[in-house]
Amino acid sequence: MNLNISDSNFWKIFLIRDYSLLWFSSFTTMLSMQLRIIATGFILYEITGSGLSLGMLGIIQLFFQLPSILYGGVLADFFKRTTIIIISQSVGTTIIFILFYLTFNESINQWHIYIATALLSINSTIGGPARSALTANLVPKKLLINAVAANTATTQIGSVLAPILFGILTVSLGASYPLLIGSVVALISAITCIFIRNDNYIKNKNKMSPVKNIVEGFIYVKEHPILPGLYLLDIGVTVVSFYRQIMPLIADRLFKGGAAVVSILTAFNSIGAIAGSFLVVFLSKIKSKGLLVLGATFIYGILLIFFGLSTSIFFGALFITLLGATDAVGMTVRQAIVQLTSPDHLRGRAVSLHSVAAMTANNIGHFEIGITSELIGTRNALFFGGIVSCIVVFIIWKTFKGVGTYKLEV
C-alpha cells in the first residue's frame, strides 16, 4: 500500500486556526498528565520506598484502561469529538485537584493514589481517541503526516516542561504544588477546545451498539496489511523495556539521586522524543516506512542496554535522550499510518485499538520492569530488556513480511 502525501512546508498546519487550538489543548493536556504522573510516582515512592508499589500503578492502569479505551473509540465515532474532550478534561481537572488537596494537607496515602490513577486512566482513555481522531478532521490529508509529527513533538514539549516544573516546585514549595499546577493546566486544556469552531463533525448514520462496533474495529485492524505486525512489535518490545514511569527507581538505584535526577532524566527523554518526531518529517524521502520503524526499534534496544550500563548521570542523560528519539520515530510513523488508512466512521475505533496495543504493553511493561528490578536489580532489568527488544525486532522482521515491505511516501 503506497500513499503519496508530500508537503515541504511543515509549519503550514499552524495556519489552520482550529488545528492550532487542538494542538495547544494537546500540549496542555500532556503537561498536566506528566505533572500528575511524575508527582504521584514520586509521592508514592516517598511513602512506600518500593519498586513494587510503582509497578502496581501499571497493573491498575492496564485493568481500567483496556475496556474504557475501546468504549472511547466507539464514542469518538458516534458523538461530537470536541464535546468528549471538554468533558474528559473537566473531570481530570477535578480529580487532580483532589490529589493536590490531600497531599497539601499531608493526608494522602498509597490507596488515594491508586484510586485516582484508576479514575484518571478511565477518563483519559475515553477522551484520547476523540482527540486523535479529531486531527484528521481539522487538516487536509496531504498535511496529516506533519500534523501527527507535530502532535507527537509538541505534546512532548509538555513532557520536557513537566519534570522541570516538578523539580522546581517540589524542591521550593513541596510535592503537592505540581498537582495544583496540573489541575489548572487541565482546565485550560478544556477551555481551549470550546473555541474550536469547525471540527467537520459528521453524524454517524449507523446505530450505536458498543459490542458490535468494537468488533467492527477489530475486523478492520485484523485485515490491515501492516498494523497487526506493528502492534505486536510495539507490545513485544515495550513489555520488557518500559522505563518511563519508574524514573524515581532508576534515579535512586542507578544514579543515587532524588527529585532533581528524576527531572533531568525525564526532561532529556522528552527532548529526544521531540527531536525524533521532527526527524520523521526530514526522513520523508525514505519510502520504506516499515523498515524505518524496525530500524529505529532495533537501535532503541541497543541504547537501552547502554542506558542500563550507565554509571554517570551524563551518560544516562545522553542515552535516555537517544532512547526518546528512536521511540518517537516509530510511534509517529505508526500513528500516521492509522490516521491515513482509516475512514472517518472507523477512525475512532482504529485509533483506540492502536492505543489498546500501546497501553497494554506500557502497563504490563510498567509492572514487569518494577518486578524485575526488585528480583535482579534495575540495571540488569534494563540490560535484559534491551537484549529481548532486539530479538523481538528480528522475529517481527522475519515473521511479518508486510512490515518490512510497507511503503508510505510522505
Say if 314 falls within a structural domain. yes
Is residue 297 a contact partner of residue 393, using CB atoms and an 8 Å limit? yes
Report the number of distinct structural domains present in the chain.
1
Which has more pLDDT, 248 or 387?
A: 387
Residue 61: Cβ-neighbour burial (10 angstroms; 0-12, 13-18, 19+) = buried
Show the domain range for 263: 10-196+207-405
* Distance between CA atoms of residues 75 and 133, nearest Å: 11
Evaluate if residue 271 carries a pLDDT over 70.
yes
What pLDDT does 153 receive? 78
What CATH number is associated with residue 50?
1.20.1250.20
The pLDDT value recorded for residue 344 is: 64
Rounded distance between C-alpha atoms, residue 6 and residue 221, angstroms: 25
The pLDDT value recorded for residue 87 is 92
Instruction: Name the percent of the chain in helix, strand, coil, to the closest 5.
Output: 85, 0, 15
Report the pLDDT averaged over residues 86-107: 93
pLDDT at 200: 61
How does pLDDT run across 277-297, given as a tens digit for each residue?
A: 888 777 767 778 778 889 999
5 domain residue, yes or no: no
Asked whether residue 3 is assigned to any structural domain, the reply reads no
Per-residue confidence (pLDDT) for residue 49, from 0 to 100? 81
Q: Within a domain: residue 268?
A: yes
Residue 110 lies in a domain: yes
Contact 41, 54 (CB under 8 A): yes
Residue 44 maps to a domain: yes
pTM of the model: 0.70
Determine the Cα–Cα distance for residues 244 and 114; give it in Å rounded to an integer. Answer: 18
Domain membership flag for residue 100: yes
Q: Are 208 and 71 in contact (CB under 8 A)?
A: no
Whose CA is closest to 270, among 381, 192, 166? 166
pLDDT tens-digit map of 304-358: 999 989 888 889 999 999 999 999 888 888 777 777 767 666 667 777 777 777 7
Query: pLDDT, tens digit, for every residue of 21-71?
Result: 999 998 999 899 989 998 998 899 888 887 778 878 878 877 887 777 777
Per the CB < 8 A criterion, the answer to whether 86 and 194 are in contact is yes
Q: Does residue 81 surpass a pLDDT of 80?
A: yes
Asked if the structure places residue 21 within a domain, the reply is yes
Q: How confident is the model at residue 273 (pLDDT cuts 50, 70, 90)?
A: confident
Residue 385 CA to residue 391 CA, distance in Å, equals 10
| Count of C-beta atoms within a 10 Å radius of residue 152 | 23
The reported pLDDT for the residue numbered 2 is: 41
pLDDT at 116: 94
Q: Higher-confidence residue: 228 or 5? A: 228
